[in-house]
């Protein structure tokens, strides 16, 4: 029998200063600097998309220091969509991806190995 592993899901979002705090169903509270989260927007526009020759074009974007999420809404049961104060709204952050961007001391120390 396969062991059942429940992937944690975010259950609560709140803006605190320049951070987005996320409460997870496994009890973890992750924190994400707004700018960092915006810089790591996974959408094709922000990350560049390989063209037919395979080269990736990154569009130069200036992200304001006071960028903040205006709206966070669920996408199915696997991701969230963030509408940013600069009007950007195409980023879909999967739960896995979001959790991987956590900048709390606990998660950061795990990444340092």
Q: Buried b / exposed e across 23-45, counting CB within 10 Å, b at 16+?
A: ebeeeeebbbebbbbbebbeeee
Tokens matching residue 11:
């259950």
Among 20, 22, 37, 41, binds Zn ion (CB under 5 A): 41
Interface with Zn ion, residue 102, by CB under 5 A: yes
Among 46, 63, 83, 92, binds Zn ion (CB under 5 A): 46
Among 18, 35, 43, 89, binds Zn ion (CB under 5 A): 43
Report how far residue 9's alpha carbon sits from residue 100's, in angstroms, rounded to the nearest whole number: 12
Shorter beta-carbon distance to Zn ion: residue 1 or 51: 51
Footprint on residues 55-94 left by Zn ion (CB under 5 A): 91
Of 34, 9, 12, residue with least CA distance to 22: 12
Contacts with Zn ion, residue ranges (CB under 5 A): 30, 41, 43, 45-46, 91, 102, 104, 107
């Amino acid at each position: 029998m396969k062991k059942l592993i429940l992937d944690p899901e975010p259950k609560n979002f709140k803006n605190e200063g320049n951070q987005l705090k996320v409460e997870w169903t496994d009890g973890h509270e992750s924190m994400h600097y707004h700018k960092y989260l915006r810089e790591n927007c996974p959408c094709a526009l922000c990350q560049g998309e390989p063209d037919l020759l395979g080269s990736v074009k990154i569009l130069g974007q200036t992200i304001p220091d006071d960028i903040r999420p205006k709206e966070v809404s669920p996408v199915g049961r696997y991701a969230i969509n963030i509408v940013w104060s600069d009007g950007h709204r195409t980023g879909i952050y999967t739960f896995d991806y979001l959790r991987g961007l956590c900048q709390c001391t606990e998660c950061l120390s795990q990444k340092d190995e």
